[in-house]
């Protein structure tokens, strides 16, 4: 048994998983959570417009990472892997970020490709699912990018068939299109048009015909589950493996896009750091739901609490 620490730093959040990893008789790593935590740091603040990470965003991330470093050392993690995704891939001054990570964590952050990000997310997402429910399409709607992966579970392990990452996410679409509070009908229409155009590229690269189950991971989609269930506060046990019908996804997207920031802030299931971008995230998920219904006849979303963090942890077992 090994104790590992996985850190995922995205456009909107930075997350930590400390887990014990055991290998069964089938050779497949199994995880047992020791500590799991998410902080909203908005590393990608303004990067879509300026091409650079702003100093205050790097400092927010440094403060969270310093706390995470103390946790993983206290918990006795033997191996650490940190990956950085969309915001750092796009930033001209990403060396400032890497230097901060090295000084704070003591190891280098890896900027992984969108395709590797997608594969890690798939590996983490399908671990608790019945192989007979596959093939699966796993979708991760992040702050700056969205990943689609199609694959199966074979002999207890994830087998990826196709993957693609595209540059559309809750932060990007909000900063580009959804300026009003609430957004105007014209802004929402512009956002839908943008999301559909960008996601078309992903669906061209990742054929979903024959897929039986849609699995959604990460903060945008888990938050939508909390909203759908009317949770007064976020409950990961209630969210994990919950199911949201397509009609409910459309209704929730319309409701969130029609609310002011203050109204969204009254919902206990929405993390304060997601209040201003969850409408944009819901819009992207609604567009995905329509495409998956048209292309594969899929009518509901299965929500998983396990995602790229779990995939990173398994990769260093």
Q: Given this model, what pLDDT does residue 29 score? A: 66
Q: φ and ψ at 159, to 5 degrees?
A: -125, 105
Q: pLDDT tens track of the chain, all 317 residues?
A: 799 999 999 888 899 999 998 876 555 668 889 999 999 898 988 887 888 999 999 999 999 999 999 999 999 999 999 998 766 877 889 899 999 999 999 999 998 876 677 778 888 898 778 889 989 999 999 888 898 999 998 877 778 899 988 889 998 999 999 999 999 999 999 999 999 999 998 999 999 999 999 999 988 999 999 999 999 888 989 999 999 999 999 999 999 999 999 999 998 889 888 899 999 999 999 999 999 999 999 999 999 988 889 989 988 87
Q: Given this model, what pLDDT does residue 122 score? A: 85
**Beta-carbon-side half-sphere exposure of residue 93 (alpha carbons within 13 Å):** 13
CATH number of 2-114: 3.30.420.40
69-89 in b/e form (b: 16+ CB < 10 A) is: bebbeeeebeebbbbbbbbbb
Using DSSP, state whether 53 is helix, strand or coil. Answer: coil
94 and 52 in contact (C-beta within 8 Å)? no
For the chain, the domains span 2-114, 127-304
Largest CA distance in the chain: 57
Total Cβ atoms within 10 A of residue 129: 18
Q: Given this model, what pLDDT does residue 316 score? A: 86
Task: Please determine whether the domains at 2-114 and 127-304 fall in the same fold group of CATH.
Answer: yes
Q: What is the DSSP letter of 12?
A: S
* CA separation for the pair 135, 122 (Å, rounded): 12
* CA separation for the pair 310, 304 (Å, rounded): 11
Fold entry, domain 127-304: Nucleotidyltransferase; domain 5 (3.30.420)
Q: Given this model, what pLDDT does residue 289 score? A: 97
Joined tokens for residue 209:
């015909």
Its pTM stands at: 0.79
* CA separation for the pair 105, 37 (Å, rounded): 16
Q: Given this model, what pLDDT does residue 1 score? A: 78
Q: φ and ψ at 177, to 5 degrees?
A: -125, -40
Q: Given this model, what pLDDT does residue 286 score? A: 96
First vs last C-alpha separation in the chain: 9
* CA separation for the pair 45, 175 (Å, rounded): 9
Query: Looking at the chain, which runs of residues are DSSP E strands?
Result: 2-9, 13-23, 29-40, 79-84, 110-111, 136-141, 146-154, 157-166, 213-217, 243-245, 300-304
């Amino acid at each position: 048994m090994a104790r590992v620490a996985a850190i995922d730093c995205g456009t909107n959040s930075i997350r930590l998983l400390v887990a014990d990893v055991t290998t069964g008789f089938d050779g497949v790593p199994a995880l047992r959570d020791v500590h799991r935590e998410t902080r909203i740091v908005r590393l990608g603040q303004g990067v879509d417009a300026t091409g650079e990470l702003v100093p205050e965003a790097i400092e927010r991330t440094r403060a969270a990472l310093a706390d995470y470093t103390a946790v993983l050392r206290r918990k006795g993690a033997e191996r650490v892997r940190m990956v950085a995704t969309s915001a750092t891939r796009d930033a001209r001054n990403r060396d400032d970020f890497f230097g901060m990570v090295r000084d704070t964590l003591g190891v280098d952050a890896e900027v992984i490709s969108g395709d590797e990000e997608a594969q890690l997310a798939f590996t983490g997402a399908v671990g608790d699912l019945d192989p007979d429910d596959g093939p699966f399409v796993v979708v991760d709607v992040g702050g700056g990018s969205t990943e689609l992966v199609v694959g199966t579970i074979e002999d207890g392990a994830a087998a990826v068939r196709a993957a693609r990452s595209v540059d559309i996410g809750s932060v990007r679409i909000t900063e580009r299109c959804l300026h009003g509070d609430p957004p105007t009908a014209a802004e929402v229409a512009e956002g839908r048009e943008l999301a559909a155009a960008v996601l078309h590229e992903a669906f061209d690269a990742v054929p979903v015909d024959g897929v039986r189950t849609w699995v959604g991971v990460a903060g945008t989609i888990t938050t939508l589950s909390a909203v759908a269930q009317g949770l007064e506060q976020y409950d990961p046990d209630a969210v994990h493996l919950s199911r949201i019908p397509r009609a409910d996804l459309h209704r929730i997207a319309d409701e969130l896009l029609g609310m002011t920031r203050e109204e969204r802030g009254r919902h206990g299931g929405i993390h304060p750091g997601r209040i201003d971008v969850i409408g944009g995230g819901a819009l992207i998920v609604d567009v995905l739901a329509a495409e998956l219904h048209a292309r594969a006849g899929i009518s509901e979303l299965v929500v998983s609490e396990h995602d790229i963090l779990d995939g990173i942890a398994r990769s260093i077992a």
